Amino acid sequence: MYFESHAHYDDRRFKQDGDALLKSFPSLGIPYVVNVGCDLRSSKASIRMAEKYDHVYASVGIHPHELYDMSSSVIDELKKLSAHKKVVAIGEMGLDYHYDTHPREVQRFWFRQQLRLAEEVKLPVIIHSREASEETFEIMQSSNVRRGVIHCYSGAAPMALDYAKMGFYIGIGGVVTYSNARKMVEVVEALPLDRIVIETDCPYLSPTPNRGKRNDSRNLQYVVEKIAEIKNVTPDVVEKVTMENGKSLYF
């Protein structure tokens, strides 16, 4: 059984079949799905989805690409949304220096504000970091937040271990199956299995053998199989441990 720790089923690419997919997951061995908010619209959509399906949970947050209308009133709105019984995390939030959609000082400011919100409402965090590993780590280290996941981790193994020592989980998805993913393989080799959660980030980042196609939670099996291969254990072991990790992280 698989714990889907990070998905985006509110994405338009699931408009035609998203409902049927979500309904099917419990029977396919996917009893938990966390749908992740990236702005107010998707945060509210995630809550509506969580209200509709017993096995779906929501997070609320503002992605670093989505800071266009960011203000203290948005933080207040996130706080209100976070009180919903099926909201299990704040995020995704963080830094993205790949496109620099917003000035870096703006990204850093609102990242810190959302971390403070998570601390206030006592929820774990979902962290996005792209080409900003050092700064993300420094901000996380200087905060009082010690529960959450570094989603779609792209840093080096030593930093992953440092995050694990701080109490965070590392999100491993389809990238680990790619032929050029040596860095990610090294991360999985180094991390204890009890610090790993599995994710798809669907509709993005489909694993091999479906790379380039729309991703969904049915592809978690390929992530589990690759982790099992790297750790020299059976897929059943990876399923069991990452299931418990997901529950520990969010519940």
What is the value of pTM for the model shown? 0.98
Q: Model confidence at 129, in pLDDT bands (50, 70, 90)? A: very high
Long-range contacts of 160-168 (CB under 8 A, 24+ apart): 160/187, 160/190, 160/191, 161/190, 161/191, 162/137, 163/137, 164/191, 164/192, 164/195, 166/140, 166/141, 168/127, 168/140, 168/195
- Looking at residue 206, what DSSP letter applies? P
pLDDT at 187: 98
70: domain CATH number? 3.20.20.140
Q: Which two tokens stand for residue 186?
A: 């090294």
Q: State residue 176's pLDDT score.
A: 98
Q: Which residue has the tokens 């399923």?
A: 239
Domain, as residue range, for 159: 3-250
| Residue pair 143/119 in contact by the 8 Å Cβ criterion | yes
pLDDT of the residue at 190: 98
Task: Determine the average pLDDT of the residues in 146-166.
Answer: 97
Q: Say how many domains are in the chain.
A: 1
pLDDT of residue 243: 98
Tens digits of per-residue pLDDT, 44-87? 999 999 999 999 999 999 999 999 999 999 999 999 999 999 99
Closest among 186, 187, 190 to 171, alpha carbons compared: 187
Q: What are the residues whose beta carbons fall under 8 Å from the beta carbon of 19, sequence distance 6 or more? A: none
Rounded CA gap, 161 and 158, in Å? 5
Percent of the chain residues topping a pLDDT of 90? 100
With H, G, I as helix, E, B as strand and everything else as coil, classify residue 94: strand
Asked if 243 and 210 count as a contact pair (C-beta separation under 8 A), the reply is: no
Task: Dump pLDDT digits (tens) for 176-228.
Answer: 999 999 999 999 999 999 999 999 999 999 999 999 999 999 999 999 999 99
pLDDT for residue 165? 98
